[in-house]
């Protein structure tokens, strides 16, 4: 396991604050109980940040015609919708809710070329809210597979998430399961897939980024 670069600064600053609070308290306080409780609380906070920014070792599942989960979490939406930002037509939406306990690295579900990328500032509705895909802070990435099929991935900030990171731009090439972004704290990732995509997950199913197969790409018409 390693720690994501987005967490290095937060963990170091939190550790320094913990030392600045606990060291003087241990020296001046007459209450051993208070000193121990503050030390335990500080430790819990630091461990929580380490857990949140963790990157566990994984042997990724790489299959050219498969769509791999872009994030850890639970499937909360599988439905046909009208995608209005890029495709402007009907697509199959699969949404994955990421709790603060999940790994928050976002990985490319397919290999291909980034044909569209746009960041949108916005609100901070709870990530499972039906309007969060349209109103929350979000970042949209479209990847064109080598077969010419495009899929859209949307990173959505939740009630706790206050910063979306993305590491790709239009014209970039990316391999399946490679990291393309990170969302700090609870959040959601939406996939918009072509009609005819065979979906291999169910509602409420837990998925793992880079491992769980979401579906199979349809043959290009």
| Domain ranges for the chain | 2-55, 66-216
Q: Which residues, in sequence order, are CB contacts of 126 under 8 Å at separation 6+?
A: 132, 158, 159
pLDDT of 122 > 70? The answer is no
- Give the pLDDT band of residue 46 (cuts 50, 70, 90): confident
Average pLDDT over residues 52-58: 77
Query: Which region among 66-70, 82-86, 89-93, 185-189 has the lowest average model confidence (pLDDT)?
Result: 185-189
Sheet strand arrangement including 66-68: 66-68, 213-216, 198-199
Q: Which residues are catalytic?
A: 187
Q: What whole-number distance in Å separates Cα of residue 52 and Cα of residue 3?
A: 9
Query: Contact at 8 Å (CB) between 156 and 188?
Result: yes
Return the CATH fold of 66-216: Glucose Permease (Domain IIA) (2.70.70)
Alpha carbon 187 to its chain's center: 7
- Give the pLDDT band of residue 161 (cuts 50, 70, 90): low
81: left (phi over 0), alpha (psi -120 to 50) or beta: beta
Please report the DSSP string for 123-152 in residue order: B---TTSTTHHHHBSEEEEEEE-TTS-EEE
Q: Residues 79-118: pLDDT tens digits?
A: 999 998 999 999 999 999 988 788 788 999 999 999 999 9
- Give the pLDDT band of residue 59 (cuts 50, 70, 90): confident
Is pTM beyond 0.85? Reply is: no
Tell me what the pLDDT averaged over the chain comes to: 84
Give me the pLDDT at residue 157, please.
Answer: 82
């Amino acid at each position: 396991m390693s720690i994501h670069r987005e967490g290095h600064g937060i963990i170091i600053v939190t550790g320094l604050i913990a030392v600045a609070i606990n060291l003087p308290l241990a020296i001046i306080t007459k209450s051993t109980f208070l000193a121990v409780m503050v030390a335990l609380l500080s430790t819990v906070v630091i461990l929580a940040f380490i857990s949140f920014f963790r990157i566990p070792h994984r042997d990724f599942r790489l299959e050219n015609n498969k769509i791999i989960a872009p994030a850890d979490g639970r499937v909360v939406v599988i439905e046909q919708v009208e995608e209005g930002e890029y495709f402007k037509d009907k697509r199959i939406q699969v949404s994955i809710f990421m709790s603060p306990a999940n790994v928050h690295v976002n990985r490319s579900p397919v290999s291909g070329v980034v044909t569209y990328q746009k960041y949108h500032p916005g609100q901070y509705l709870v990530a499972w809210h039906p309007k969060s895909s349209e109103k929350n802070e979000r970042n949209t990435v479209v990847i064109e597979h080598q077969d010419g099929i495009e899929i859209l991935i949307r990173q959505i900030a939740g009630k706790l998430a206050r910063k979306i990171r993305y590491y790709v731009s239009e014209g970039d090439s990316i391999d399946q399961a490679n990291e393309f972004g990170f969302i700090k704290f609870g959040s959601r990732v939406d996939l918009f897939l072509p009609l005819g995509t065979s979906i291999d997950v169910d509602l409420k199913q837990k998925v793992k980024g880079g491992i769980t197969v979401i579906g199979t790409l349809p043959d290009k018409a």
